[in-house]
Structure 1
């Protein structure tokens, strides 16, 4: 990492947002709420992960019931659109992968990091059809690769191409949300697909997709919990409750894998074999933001800025 004094202003601005978000919420969590408690907390979640378990168990609702605070859950297909909802005020809290906050903050979104799950590099991968002749990352040169722009898998693709010595400009990225990307993958309109669980597990179990490379030895793949800045500043006590309940669900999940599978199968509507495979790769244990994780996010921001994938502020 370059010393800050050598960074160009655009990079300093983008990367400074990461540190400000992480340290700001860490301090804010220890402050009392300065506003009247809301009537509901609006949580954005995706098809899988700890928030889905939290929703399925109903323990957050039970914790907040004495305060007469309801919980409204909204499902999003991917992290970037979830953070759009956070930024425009349609949700208060949510979870996404590594890349979405960087794209959002580079665009001026007012959000803060609350915590993160441990690294889970095996939960995302570059897959090819079972009949594909592609066997190595080096063979991706010139190929059409489907991915959700600005999602965690975007950085996986960047690092995989870097490892193979392929410039990002030498592939044809096809930016599609998961459902559309799967359809394109099935009909052979793309050569490869970069995707995360449980969509990854579904592709493996239902389509026979073959993993060309997963995130191991390439990326960390943390899941982050974020809050709208206004919500975090006004309701630090509720942010603390959210993290406490997430931590409890994480501990429960580690000790009860069979019940995790049952809840996630019911919540996602996915077949049990798909959920079991995805669950076997999940990492539990919410943690506060640390200097090292902020530095990792900074390195991701560096990479995206170098490729001109995030705009100058």
Structure 2
């Protein structure tokens, strides 16, 4: 009997163990599926500026929400005053994708060690930024800026335009009084006469011209190409290429629409920006809105920008601006 009871006891223990394990074994495939889903992106966080025309149109129309819904992806929107804080947010993981920023901004982010991927670029729009003075200002040329107080946003395209313009006039940033001001603050300082000149981009440029009759001393032609870049954090671009690809495709489509239907685009943006349609049409006419893939030969000016900022002591180290990952 002893020999019979012992195997039976062992058998019973195995049955009990199997009964306990069966529910756990049954849910293993579902647990694995749940883990796979937890790795998927549920919300793409997009950072943008007021001057991010194409993204603003997509946001207003709800286009990305509709296009990304079949992928189970939602969209959250995060507005920034200028490009530098936007890319800082991208670097620390506060946003996943950045709407267009001026070609200068990634240079500063790269100097800070940011992991960024260029996902698209707008072809040059050099006349979409300029150095402005009041209509009755005695300043007629860039050389007249010597000793003057000039407002501009740090690391913006306007920053490099000023450097390039001063260099052409045999001046440097040390020959003027720089005032780092976000667009809204710059406009207020310009109107009050707290600055002698303001370096700014559209649509703020067109608004100052039309509303305050501001005069252009020089724009970016033959000085700064002003190519605007769309970026994503490198980890996000690698993990979710299908989301990035869809966003870029919609940017391309929207850019073509703005050029083909300028009045319709201005009418759509007018209540969003709080500007009259004529001002918006003028601003949009200066931007290429030609969204294209970034290729190495498009990055030559990036290195010029990086070297110019390094020479002025504005970057902590030399940056290889052409070594950025491309989508």
The Cα of 1:152 is off from its aligned counterpart by 0.9
Alignment of 1:74-93 (within 5 A): 74-93=78-97
The Cα of 1:203 is off from its aligned counterpart by 0.8
Q: Distance in 2 between matches of 1:248 and 1:82?
A: 24
Q: Distance in 1 between matches of 2:229 and 2:193?
A: 33
**Pairs aligned (count):** 281
* Structure 1 match to 2:43: 40
Q: CA RMSD in A?
A: 1.6
8 A Cα contact 1:119 1:283, kept in partner: yes
Alignment of 1:1-313 (within 5 A): 36-48=39-51, 49-94=53-98, 95-312=100-317
8 A Cα contact 1:34 1:235, kept in partner: no
The Cα of 1:34 is off from its aligned counterpart by 11
Query: Per the alignment, in what secondary structure is the counterpart of residue 220 of structure 1?
Result: coil
**Structure 2 portions without partners, runs of 5+:** 1-35, 319-327
Q: Deviations over 1:247-276 (max 9, x none)?
A: 111122222111110111122122223212
Query: Per the alignment, in what secondary structure is the counterpart of residue 104 of structure 1?
Result: helix
Q: Distance in 2 between matches of 1:83 and 1:250?
A: 22
**Structure 1 portions without partners, runs of 5+:** 1-32
* Structure 2 match to 1:25: none
8 A Cα contact 2:133 2:216, kept in partner: yes
Q: Distance in 1 between matches of 2:263 and 2:188?
A: 31
Q: Deviations over 1:40-68 (max 9, x none)?
A: 11111111321112212222111111122
Q: TM-score, normalised by structure 1?
A: 0.86
8 A Cα contact 2:68 2:243, kept in partner: no
Q: Distance in 1 between matches of 2:185 and 2:132?
A: 15
Q: TM-score, normalised by structure 2?
A: 0.83
Q: Name the structure, 1 or 2, with higher relative contact order (CA <8 Å, separation 6+).
A: 1
8 A Cα contact 2:206 2:283, kept in partner: yes
Of the structure 1 ranges 286-295 and 147-156, higher mean CA displacement relative to structure 2 is found in 286-295
Which of the pair has more CA radius of gyration? 2
Instruction: Say if 1:121 and 1:35 are closer, same or farther in 2 by CA, change over 3 A.
Output: farther
Q: Distance in 1 between matches of 2:267 and 2:92?
A: 34
Q: Distance in 2 between matches of 1:206 and 1:81?
A: 28
Q: Distance in 1 between matches of 2:304 and 2:38?
A: 36
